[in-house]
Amino acid sequence: MAEQVKSEILDNRRAGDYHVLSLTAPGIAEVAKPGHFITLSMGGDETSMVLRRAFAIHQVQSRGVYGGTLDIAVSVQGRGTEWLAGRRRHDVVDLVGPLGKPFALPKQGVSCVLVGGGYGSAPLFMLAQELRDRGCRVDMVIGAATESRLFGVLELKRLASALTITTDDGSAGVQGRVTDVLDDALDRAGADVVYACGPMPMLSEVARIATKRRVFSQCAVEEAMACGIGVCMTCVLPVIGDDGITRMVRSCVEGPVFRGDRVRWADVHTIPDDAWGAPGNDDRGVGR
Ligand SMILES: Cc1cc2nc3c(=O)[nH]c(=O)nc-3n(C[C@H](O)[C@H](O)[C@H](O)COP(=O)(O)OP(=O)(O)OC[C@H]3O[C@@H](n4cnc5c(N)ncnc54)[C@H](O)[C@@H]3O)c2cc1C
Ligand code: FES
């Protein structure tokens, strides 16, 4: 169950091109799981920015005096994130969370490869720790356009059995994309599961490679969101259900984590003709 709190900013520090904000989140941090996200209102009391902005939960801590606290990694994109990056210690923001469905975790100690693109590696820290606690092998592949847009390299070296880094411009690690080295990483780990978070084209390719190799994949998508709580349908994408029927599902409540082989990546941002409820389709999802 999500809660809304007035959250105090405890810290705002730079990490490469990102800002890491530590926020009080009593009652939220304690129940958050890897893959959950929060939303924050932007711009203070007089703002014209009516929509909240979504951020993956990076880490959670229990700090006696504040109750639970959580960290997010912020990449400045537009007006909202620029405002947020400028907040200081003791500023207060309105926070709702935890939201969405988290990553599904294996019951046994399997071998996992975690793939993060840019700030997409932020939610993989909690996941890596949780998987390790369950006896899983955790290898990681993280990539970004350039070195300053890699997130959390030092800490991930500690968390992962093997860490492969890629950058588009070759400023760190292997020059290229995470998907260029994924086959090798899956071989090395003898992977049973791939977890991924990053831009949609990266997720699409990770899912394609995993499916081709018959490796189970889970992808945390970043679809534009307005309400974040399942009301507005801004965040829908086509996903194939257990019954084989494609439905437009809300990534804020049914996601953001989906099975990679179930998302129709090529049809994201469209309503496929054969989707349930699409124009020209009857109620059973059978095209006329
Ligand atoms: C589930 C989820 C998790 C996310 N996690 C992170 C994170 O950990 N760190 C981080 O820096 N960013 C994250 N984002 C992206 C972040 O929400 C957007 O960058 C932010 O909303 C942009 O707001 P803005 O006002 O700066 O930019 P603007 O471009 O001015 O935003 C205008 C509107 O578009 C929406 N929007 C714009 N870009 C995106 C985007 N890429 N995804 C979703 N909505 C967008 C905004 O919510 C806003 O309503 C996440 C998004 C989602 C959906
Ligand atoms: S963002 Fe409104 S339903 Fe998902």
Beta carbon of 235 within 6 Å of any ligand 2 atom: yes
Which-ligand-closest: CA of 53? 1
**Distance between CA 151 and CA 180 in Å, rounded?**
19
- Sorted by where each starts, the structural domains of the chain and their CATH numbers stand as 3-99 (2.40.30.10), 103-222 (3.40.50.80), 224-288 (no CATH)
* Ligand with minimal distance to 85 CA: 1
Neighbours of 31 (CB within 10 A): 15
Coil, helix or strand for 254?
coil
Q: Read off the pLDDT of residues 231-275 as tens digits, 9 standing for 90 and up.
A: 999 999 999 999 999 999 999 999 999 999 999 999 999 999 999
Please choose, from the candidates 29, 40, 222, the residue with its C-alpha nearest in 3D space to the C-alpha of residue 126. 29
In DSSP terms, 248 is beta-bridged to: 238
Q: Does ligand 1 come within 6 angstroms of the Cβ of 53?
A: yes
Whether residue 265 has its Cβ less than 6 Å from ligand 1? no
Residue 232 CB–ligand 2 contact under 6 Å? yes
**Residues 144/11, Cβ–Cβ less than 8 Å:** no
Q: SS3 of 249, please? A: strand
Q: Rounded CA gap, 264 and 273, in Å?
A: 12
Q: What is the mean pLDDT of residues 18-45?
A: 95
R_g (Cα) of the chain, nearest Å: 19
Q: Which of 249, 250, 258 to mutate to test the pocket of ligand 2 (most atoms within 8 A of CB)?
A: 250
For residues 208 and 214, give the distance between their C-alpha atoms in angstroms, rounded to a whole number: 10
- The residue whose CA has the least distance to atom 21 of ligand 1 is 53
Q: Give strand pairing partners of 97.
A: 3
Q: Identify the residue whose C-alpha is closest to ligand 1 atom 19.
A: 77
Q: Which residues contact residue 64 at a Cβ distance below 8 angstroms, ignoring those fewer than 6 apart?
A: none
Which tokens hold the place of 50?
A: 């009516």
Is the CB of 108 within 6 Å of ligand 1?
no
Q: Distance between CA atoms of 273 and 277, rounded to whole angstroms?
A: 9
Taking only the tens place, the pLDDT of each residue in 35-90 is: 999 999 998 877 788 899 999 999 999 866 778 999 999 999 999 999 999 999 99
Residue 151 has pLDDT above 80, yes or no: yes
Would you state the structure tokens that stand for residue 168, as one six-digit string?
Answer: 């588009």
Confidence grade of residue 283 (pLDDT, cut at 50, 70, 90): low
Rounded to whole angstroms, the Cα distance separating 161 from 139 reads 5
Distance CA 191, CA 218 (A): 13
Encoding tokens for residue 65?
């005096």
Q: How far apart are CA 269 and CA 58, in angstroms?
A: 27
Kindly compute the dihedral angle of the four CA atoms of residues 137, 19, 79, 50, in this order, to the nearest 10 degrees. Answer: 70
Q: For residues 187 and 139, what is the distance between their CA atoms, to the nearest angstrom?
A: 11
User: What spacing in Å lies between the alpha carbon of 186 and ligand 1's midpoint?
Assistant: 30
The pLDDT value given to residue 47: 79
Best residue for ligand 1 mutational test, from 12, 47, 53, 253 (most atoms within 8 Å of Cβ): 53
DSSP string, 228-262: SSSSS-TTEEEEE-TTS-EEEEETTTT-BEEETTT
Cβ–ligand 2 contact at 250 (below 6 Å): yes
Asked whether the predicted pLDDT for residue 288 surpasses 70, the reply is no
The single-letter DSSP state of residue 266 is G
Give pTM, 2 decimals.
Answer: 0.94
Q: Which amino acid is at 201?
A: P
**Which tens digit of pLDDT belongs to each residue from 191-230?**
999 999 999 999 999 999 999 999 999 999 999 999 999 9
